[in-house]
């Protein structure tokens, strides 16, 4: 009978994007972790699954059962990826697939393999999920501080392909957007689209502290009604949305090394809004400086 390897896979990003970590966990004697100086939660979640596949490829007849709290990862790998491949790694609207290099590597590892997913609620006391979360967060924190972290024992008999267990200290001449890692880092567009999704999520909109971290000190917005929103008004009044709209990439324009104009659509069954966002990087973090939404057909 084929072996079933059950492991929790999780990712963590401080500021999202920011210093990021990933981890998978089977037991205290069988787990691994790594990270990047700059990445997203989604990157971490995908990398945890990728490394789990890499480190179990030598087990004869193995089946991998991954416990994930990320619907993005589960849907990307088990539902959407075949269609994206047929379209040349493009979405239905023609926009590029985000985190495509990690997804391509996962796809390569899946050749002749069996991978199943199970969704688990994050931060709800699930033993394996909590263990993976702690290790991913420790790696992210180490990359933030430039300190060491425990990369774990790995899977018995596996050839390690993980990132090192010493996080490089940040230097003034080191690019803060791209850092060494096991896969190609995300593009600026990917990072900003992830941030737009975060700003639409109830998790961020109901947390003033996290919302404040994403809005530029001089943030303003012209709403669909024509109202001019200030940063203080947005922090005080922004409410969770009823469901998460789809985010569709339209275009991006780099105005300077730290200033990008992103054009995108939010789509619901009853409403489509064309949006323009001006993102500025401050102290290594992207923050939204201006936003405007216009109803579209």
Contacting residues for 39 by C-beta, under 8 A, at least 6 apart: 13, 17, 18, 19, 20, 179, 181, 185, 186
Confidence of residue 160 (pLDDT cuts 50, 70, 90): low
Q: b or e along 238-277 (b: 16 or more beta carbons within 10 Å of the residue's beta carbon)? A: beeeeeebebbbeebeeeeeeebebebbbeeeeeebbbbb
Say if residues 42 and 70 touch (Cβ distance below 8 Å). Answer: yes
CATH code given to domain 188-296: 3.10.450.50
The stretch 77-95 carries a mean pLDDT of: 91
Can you give the pLDDT at residue 162?
43
The stretch 218-225 carries a mean pLDDT of: 89
Say if residues 87 and 57 touch (Cβ distance below 8 Å). Answer: no
CATH 3.30.420.10, the chain: domain bounds: 4-145
Predicted confidence (pLDDT) at residue 117 exceeds the cutoff of 70? yes
Predicted confidence (pLDDT) at residue 23 exceeds the cutoff of 90? yes
How far is Cα 251 from Cα 120, in angstroms, rounded to an integer? 35
Can you give the pLDDT at residue 144?
85
Percent of the chain with pLDDT over 70: 90
Can you give the pLDDT at residue 48?
97
Identity of the highest mean pLDDT range in 67-76, 187-196, 266-275: 67-76
The stretch 62-87 carries a mean pLDDT of: 94
Can you give the pLDDT at residue 186?
61
Question: Which residues are part of the catalytic machinery?
Answer: 10-11, 45, 69, 123, 133
Question: What is the number of helices (H) and of strands (E) in the chain?
Answer: 9, 11
The stretch 57-75 carries a mean pLDDT of: 91
Contacting residues for 289 by C-beta, under 8 A, at least 6 apart: 216, 218, 219, 220, 278, 279, 280
CATH 3.10.450.50, the chain: domain bounds: 188-296
Say if residues 113 and 57 touch (Cβ distance below 8 Å). Answer: yes
How far is Cα 95 from Cα 214, in angstroms, rounded to an integer? 24
Q: What is the pLDDT of residues 43-57, one digit of tens each?
A: 999 999 999 999 999
Superfamily of domain 4-145: Ribonuclease H-like superfamily/Ribonuclease H (3.30.420.10)
The stretch 253-279 carries a mean pLDDT of: 91
């Amino acid at each position: 009978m084929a072996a079933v390897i059950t492991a929790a896979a999780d990712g963590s990003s401080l500021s999202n994007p920011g210093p990021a970590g990933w981890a998978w966990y089977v037991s205290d004697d069988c787990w691994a972790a790594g990270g990047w100086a700059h990445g997203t939660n989604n990157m971490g979640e995908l990398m945890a699954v990728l490394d789990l596949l890499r480190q179990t490829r030598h087990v004869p007849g193995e089946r991998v059962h991954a416990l994930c709290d990320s619907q993005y990862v589960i849907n990307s790998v088990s539902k959407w990826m075949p269609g994206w491949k047929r379209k040349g790694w493009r979405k239905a609207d023609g926009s590029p697939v985000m985190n495509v290099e990690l997804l391509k590597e996962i796809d390569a590892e899946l050749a002749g393999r069996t991978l199943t997913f199970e969704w688990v609620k994050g931060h709800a006391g699930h033993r394996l999920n909590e263990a993976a979360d702690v290790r991913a967060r420790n790696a992210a924190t180490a990359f933030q501080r430039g300190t060491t972290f425990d990369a774990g024992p790995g899977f018995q008999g596996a050839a390690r392909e993980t990132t090192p267990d010493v996080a490089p200290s940040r230097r003034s001449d080191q690019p803060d957007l791209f850092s060494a890692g096991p896969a190609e880092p995300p593009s600026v567009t990917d990072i900003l689209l992830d941030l737009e999704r975060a700003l639409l999520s109830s998790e961020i909109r109901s947390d003033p502290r996290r919302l404040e971290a994403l809005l530029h000190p001089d943030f303003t917005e012209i709403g669909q009604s024509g109202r001019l929103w200030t940063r203080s008004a947005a922090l005080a009044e922004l409410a969770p949305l009823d469901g998460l709209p789809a985010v569709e990439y339209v275009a991006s324009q780099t105005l300077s090394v730290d200033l990008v104009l992103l054009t995108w659509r939010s789509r619901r069954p009853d409403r489509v809004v064309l949006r323009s966002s001006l993102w500025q990087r401050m102290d290594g973090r992207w923050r939204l400086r201006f936003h405007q939404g216009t109803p579209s057909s």
